[in-house]
Every structure is written in structure tokens, then in C-alpha cells.
Structure 1
């Protein structure tokens, strides 16, 4: 058995619908489930092979996506690129976040609480991995009762209906894994046609949600799990939820007994799930998902949640054949719907876990930590301060350059402003191209004006057609003193953790703001507006 790692990077917010009791709130998971991973790949496969709406009639499609391959959930990537896992329910941390204990091997102590979410382990060090999410408010415009389309035409809800979407923020990466035999994985790659593409996932895709970049690794060997069997037992955790077979009872011990039963079928037997305190720590959760081609949800089923841990015992000691059978079962999965990535198992090392250094040294609550929404608005405020300042400098430069203005230059500046356009996107290249097209005849008043007007001892034509953004007149000012005087330097370090003054100075937004103001004030000055107060 081999594997392919599938990386998903969110390019827009993504709504991965989760169950919620709120009537006006659609909650979102913090990961891409196995069914979603399979759906992303199946959609691409169907498109590339032009299977249309009858993909179920294609034998190769059915074999790959419903039998031979395992499409395992995409969990978040840590800062170092390590794929996170669901933290075992047995893990607890002290309230100050400096100590960890594992209920599978240690007694619970006062002052400790359960850990939730995702984490990565490097040896005995364990670090949490967080997923950024945001709640967005929307107005309902469904016209369910009237069906007259007035709400959508108006762009608002007549009845004041609202709803909220919780979404995974853009700019985050997740990694899922596809397991299967070498030839089946190769057939999948051939059918997909490329190792990188853009796609959509989740709810409300194709609107403002769900845009993702997908990339696949080469076919790789599956990592060998270290089977350390002290006292003939081994601790296992559920990597993904385990959906018991229909004939298995709902209690955790009986459901996990299917793992021992599957191993007994593959070996000489002797496997069993240990019962008793500190032998099983598990939770149940409902599993449901929406199937687009059906236009409806699948029946809800109960599963043992990812993060459940238990002890597996082998009477008579472990043989190499036992270890090989366990290795195969870990990635093949156990229970129902294994092709969707359910029932994946991994070995959980029985060690004394410690908090990763970077986490232990950080205070429980960073005083400068800001919510992403706050950062977004704060960044906009900082940029507006700089834009306002370059507009002031543009007015000052117009006053200093008036002696170089050609006669009847009101039209000259109006023409430049029109060539600049109304968008700051690619403003520099757009203006340079427009001026180049305009300069068919170098003897025109427009061409002469570009050569006559000088700003800070350089010709206007040079600034607008040859200079770099770093050469602009506003970048000849003392930006550092300005940033410190207005405390913008401190604000940038709070928002981004570093000064981004250089990035802002070379932005198209400042280029557009400065020259739009310069042309506007230049037109006023040329017309003699204000008689001594040419710019306002």
C-alpha cells in the first residue's frame, strides 16, 4: 500500500457545514472530511474524463472512488508543514498550559482540563494547532413566500431575515491522504490529469465561499508506525471517526472490538480490547453529509469520534506477522465507509508528553494578539493614514512646481487624470501605457507639458513612464519620522508583528492616491482656483 498527500489551501472563506442547534447560524468544521476530500477529487476526475452525469456507469470510476482507495480527511498543517491530528480525548493540560497528562497512563489531577482540537507531536513534545474561523452576517433574500424576486432585485430582505455563516478563513493549508495500491493511485493521477488545480468545496461555493487550490504529491511509501508492545499491549487512537458495522452495538467497547476481530482474522488470533479504567477513553458523534448529486443528506449515523483512544492486547506476545497485520489495518481502516476515510487508526505512544517549547514559553493570552477581523480593519486604517499623507504631499509638490506649469495647462492635468483611470490596480503600468499611446507626436502640447513640468527636480514624464515605485516623489520624503511621529510604526508591529513600511511605500495604492491628487490639485492651480489658495 502507498499514499498520496493532498494539500488544500483556502483562497476564500470555506463553509464546511457542521451540526448546530442555532436556527440562524451555519457552523463550520475545522477540517475537510473524507467525503469532501473524495468529492473534490471525484469532481475533478469526472470533469477530466468527461463522464458527465453518468459517472456511476464508468467501471474505473466506481472501482477507484468506491472500493480500492481510501480518501482520508484533510487536517490543518502546522507552521512547520506537519499535518496535525485530532488530539486524543485522554490528553489534559494544566490551566496555565505548562503541563500535560495522559489519562491512558496517568491519574487525573485537580487543575487540569481536557484538550480539544488539533495538535502535532515531535517526539514527546505536543503542540496545539489552531484553525482561524470567522462568522459572517448575511441577509436572507430567498423570496420563499412571494416568489416575485423583489428581495433579490432590491438586494436586501424585505422581512429583515438574517443568517450567519461560520467559515474557515482564507490563507490556511490542510493536508489529506489517499491510500491504495501503487497501480490504483497511478490510475487516479492519470484520471485527474494534473497535480495542481483550483476547485471549490463546502457550502455556498461559486459565490464568495469555497475557492481552494489543490495540489497532490508524488506516490510515496506509507510511514511505518512504531509498534512498541510493552506488556503485550499497545495504545491506538482513532485518526478519523469509526462508523461501526450495522450488526455492532453502539457502546465503545463493542465497537472497538471489531479492531481485535479484524486482526484475529488476519493472524493466528489472541487479540482483544482491554476493558477497565484508563483502557478506553472515547466519545461518540453523529456523522452526516450532503450529497450534491442527490440533492439531499445521507442518513445520519453514530460513530466513535476521532481522538478516541484504547488499549489493544495480544496474548502470547507479538510476532512479526502480527505487527504486519496491524500496519495494514491502520491504513485500510475498520468499520463502514472506509473508502471515505472513516475508521483510520494510528498508534498512540505511551510517553510522558510535554508542552512544545514555543507554546510553553508563550503566555496563555498574548497581550498584543488581535482577532483577524480586528487586524483587517486596523490594517485598512493604517493604509488610509499613509494615503492621506501622500495626498498632502501631492498638494505641497503642486505648489512647489507651479513655476514649471505650461500655459493653459488645465486641460493637460485633466487629461492625465483621465488617463490614470479610476482603479488603483496596476495603476502605474496602466498610466505608462496610456501615456505612451498618447505620445504619438512629441511636439503636441501634451508631450511638451510632460517635459516642462518638474516635480522635485525630475521631469513629470520620467516619473510617469520610466521610474520605479521607489523613485516616486512621495518616497523622497522622511517616511520613518512620519511613521514614528504618528505611532504608525508601533501599530504595524502590533498588527503584523513587524514593520511593513517598505511594502506600503511600494504599493500601487499610494501611486494612485498621489498622482490622482497631484493632477486634481494641478488642474485647480492652473485655473487659478482660490487666488492664492490653489489647493484645498
Structure 2
């Protein structure tokens, strides 16, 4: 399997509806893996053949590739975006990274973990902005993952306004007006700049050599995704290239995290081994009876102790083009959810191998649609000061 960077350049605005039947349609800020997978499957039917074709079975059915969410990226789409963890907080008056002229971002994983260890509430002063003294609130979205030069990535949006047409006169009908909020196919360098760049979305995936060759035949020209495709929306230029896999240094992260813990607790944590899990996409976790749960089954053995979790429920909706009907709703955990574990075992090399394999294959259901992707030991958790 190869680790590849997949990039989408928007050739027209993109609409991925947040709600199924809203009064005003609003797009989410990224291209879900399930939508990308469906768009490529539709393209295969158009140019290659039906579901019995051996290449279709290789890419989508027998050993399916797990298509990622494509998140807002930089001006050239070269930098992989990361999901901000739910432990990130920033000033409610001027939220954002200091490198972008804002009041900075802090992480509360170590503070909350120490609170659990001490069995008492954390100091409320930690939730005050060091710049202005205002409260700090959760800071969500996507960023470049670089603590030395952090930058938040946001997709530009447009509003498409529509009027109703009178069937008798062929002119605008009175009292019928609606609009769509879509991801724009361009972006500004910043709020004050008049420079415009193409809008890129990017993600990463593990894929075999055979599947790469099949995929390249589908992305030689434009692919259409999302809603309102008959009106010209959702045209994408896709590309894929191999890149090195960024492995996590669990030992270094563990030592840095314990240094932070010692600032908030007097208990001895020097002999403990900690690691964190962050959901890079929504995850559908179930028990053996397929009931929704909020715990990761792979960490249910006695050698893992869950210290805390910061999670949020998420209703997962979708559309099945083959049925021309909506998919059944699933209840899962939202991207950005964070788990902190302590490892009680005596084989650190086994732990590293286990976590790497889990990051590759993912967790939960519908992983081929981009759900259940995780990252291990996010660097934002070990920053001492705001960035």
C-alpha cells in the first residue's frame, strides 16, 4: 500500500448540503469521502463500465480503497489540512492563531487530564485569554498542523440567489425567492487583499498500485460531485501523487505531555505512558448489537486505560445515487473528538506498531467512505503556551 496525497481543484462552486431538506441550502466546508467515492463510481459507470467490471470491484468492492475527506487547503493545495481537536480553545473576541494577528490558541487536554488525576476541578483562570482577559471558547475548523507556523484553512463561500419562474408568462414569479450557500471556486489571500487563487481541497489515503492506475483513468478529466451538478456546480480537477507517511514520535510526545501534566498535578506520572487519539473524520462506532457507542473497541483490553475523552455526537446523513434515495441516518462521533489513554503494557514497540496499523486502517463502520480516520498524538496537545 502507498500513502498518497489526493488534491481537488474546484473548477466551479461546490454544494454539499449540511441538512437534507433545509429552507435555505448551506454547504459544509469540505468534500466528504462518501461524496468523493460516489462521484468516482459514477464516473466509472460513465466511461468504463458497470459494477461487474473487475476494475470497479478492485477499487470499490473487493478490497475497497478508503477515500478521505478533502479539506480546505493552501493556495496551491500542497499542504495537507488537519482537523483542529476539540481540546483547542481561543479568545471569544479575537479567535485565531497569533501568527495570523489573533489572540492565540491553547489546548486543554493536559489541564483536563490533570483534573481527572487530581479528582478536582481545574483552575478556571486557564480559560481566560492572556491577551485581553475574556473567556476562551472552543476553536474548531482546519489548520496546517504546524505548531511553529500555524495557519487556519477556511473555504471561501458564495451565495447563489434564485427566483421562481411563472409558468404562464415565463417571467419571474412573485414571492418565490431562494438561495444556496456554496463553496466558491476561488479564494482571496486575505480579507484585505485583492489577489485571488483557485480553491483547493486536499486529503490523504492508502491505496495499492493497481488501484492508483484505475483511479488515474477516472481523473484524466473533470469529475462532478455534490448537488446541482446539472447547473454546472461541483466540477473538480483531481490529482494524486505518492508522499512519505508522517509517523508520530510517540515517545517524544509522551515525555512532553508528562511535562505539561506536572504543571497541573503533584502526583508522580513519570512511569506512565500516555497517547492521544483524534478523529480526523466522523466515526461510526457500534457495539456487537450495532448500537451506537462512544468508546473505541480496539482499546477495550486491560492494557489500555482511558483517562478522558472529549467527544460530540454527530448525525451522519448521505445519499445513495443507485437507489435515488437517502441513506439511513447513522449516529456517530464528530471529527475532532479526542481520547487520552494510558498504556499499562510492557511492550512499547508493540504499542507503536498497533497504533500505526490502527491509523492506517481506521476505526468503526463505513471506513471506505472516509469515516473512522484517526491520528495519533497530535502536536497541539503538547504546546505549553498559546500559539
Alignment of 1:70-85 (within 5 A): 70-79=66-75, 81-85=78-82
Q: Which residue of 1 aligns with 2:246?
A: 223
Residue deviations 1:367-417, cap 9 Å, x none?
A: xxxxxxxxxxxxxxxxxxxxxxxxxxxxxxxxxxxxxxxxxxxxxxxxxxx
Shift of 1:208: 3.4
More helix by share: 1
1:16 match: secondary structure: coil
Give the Cα–Cα distance (whole angstroms) in 2 for the partners of residues 21 and 316 of structure 1: 49
Give the Cα–Cα distance (whole angstroms) in 2 for the partners of residues 20 and 42 of structure 1: 22
TM-score computed with the length of structure 1 as normaliser = 0.56
1:34 aligns with 2:67: no
Q: Which residue of 2 aligns with 1:164?
A: 179
* Structure with bigger gyration radius: 1
Q: Which residue of 1 aligns with 2:322?
A: 293
Shift of 1:131: 1.1
Shift of 1:76: 1.0
Alignment of 1:233-272 (within 5 A): 233-245=274-286, 247=289, 250-252=292-294, 255-256=295-296, 258-261=297-300, 270-272=303-305
Whether the 8 Å contact between 1:139 and 1:162 is mirrored in structure 2 is yes
Shift of 1:82: 1.4
Shift of 1:194: 6.1
Residue deviations 1:76-120, cap 9 Å, x none?
A: 112473121221111001234323221201354132111121112
How many residue pairs are counted as aligned between the two chains?
A: 325
Question: Structure 2: where are the runs of 5+ without partners?
Answer: 95-101, 112-121, 129-134, 187-198, 256-271
Alignment of 1:344-359 (within 5 A): 344-347=373-376, 348-349=378-379, 350-352=381-383
Q: Which residue of 2 aligns with 1:323?
A: 352
TM-score computed with the length of structure 2 as normaliser = 0.76
Give the Cα–Cα distance (whole angstroms) in 2 for the partners of residues 340 and 19 of structure 1: 19
Q: Which residue of 2 aligns with 1:337?
A: 366
Q: Which residue of 2 aligns with 1:68?
A: 64
Whether the 8 Å contact between 1:232 and 1:317 is mirrored in structure 2 is no
Q: Which residue of 2 aligns with 1:58?
A: 53
**CA distance change for structure 1 residues 248 and 232 in 2, over 3 Å: closer, same or farther?**
farther
Shift of 1:354: 5.8
Shift of 1:59: 4.7
Q: Which residue of 1 aligns with 2:263?
A: none
Alignment of 1:164-243 (within 5 A): 164-171=179-186, 172-180=199-207, 182=208, 185-190=209-214, 192-193=216-217, 196-217=220-241, 219-228=242-251, 229-230=254-255, 231-243=272-284
Q: Which residue of 2 aligns with 1:521?
A: none
Alignment of 1:27-176 (within 5 A): 27-51=26-50, 55=51, 57-66=52-61, 67-79=63-75, 81-94=78-91, 95-96=93-94, 97-106=102-111, 107=122, 108-110=126-128, 111-141=135-165, 150=167, 154-157=170-173, 160-171=175-186, 172-176=199-203
Shift of 1:248: 5.7
More strand by share: 2
Residue deviations 1:240-299, cap 9 Å, x none?
A: 1110125365453xx33x1314xx5xxxx612422xxxx211111111111222111101
